Amino acid sequence: MKVKGITERQLRSIVRKVGVQFNNGPTKIGNYLFFTLRLPQFARAPKAKYRRTGTRGRRICAVCYHGHFAVMQRILDVNPDAVIRSAVATYLGKDDFEAKAPSVGERNVGSMMEPRMFIDSCNCGGTFDMMLREVKPATKEKTP
């Protein structure tokens, strides 16, 4: 994905706090930081949070929807006007993200024969209700 509106240092700090790692990047090109995410190595983090499962429920080293959500949410906490472009969606700031993220989680990442929603493609225990509760306190802080 790529993001505009935060510094590389801020991005590195966010990724570390969420508990994931960079697979590629971050690389700055123009106004955007390009990067992809992965989990820490299996051996060091066998129970890593945000592990996405493969098509047969296999554990793979990819970061699930909730992990990406957590990173994007923190980017938008740092700068509510940040622009995030991923393979599946473009978010123009925090309000746009909160409006679009639920439908992105419901996308089919399985196949026509074995449909599976992105949001269900992991064992991290994250649910959309949990994520919305995480979003709300951050929103409240701004409202006097």
Residue 37 bridge partners (DSSP): 22
Phi-psi region of 30 (alpha: psi -120 to 50; beta: other; left: phi over 0): left
CA distance 4 to 64: 22
Looking at the Cβ atoms of 99 and 117, the one nearer to Zn ion is: 117
3 state DSSP class of 113: coil
1 binds Zn ion (CB under 5 A): no
Which residue among 66, 68, 74, 94 contacts Zn ion (CB under 5 A)? 66
51 binds Zn ion (CB under 5 A): no
Total number of residues that touch Zn ion (CB under 5 A)? 5
| Token code pair at residue 42 | 């299996």
Looking at the Cβ atoms of 101 and 124, the one nearer to Zn ion is: 124
Closest CA to 59 of 44, 73, 48: 48
Q: Over the range 91-128, which residues count as b (16 or more CB within 10 Å of their CB) and which as e?
A: beebebbbeebeebbeeeeeeeeeeeebbbbbebebee
15 binds Zn ion (CB under 5 A): no
Which residue among 64, 83, 84, 101 contacts Zn ion (CB under 5 A)? 64
126 binds Zn ion (CB under 5 A): yes
94 binds Zn ion (CB under 5 A): no
Which residue among 82, 124, 131, 135 contacts Zn ion (CB under 5 A)? 124
105 binds Zn ion (CB under 5 A): no
Contact set with Zn ion (CB under 5 A) = 64, 66, 122, 124, 126
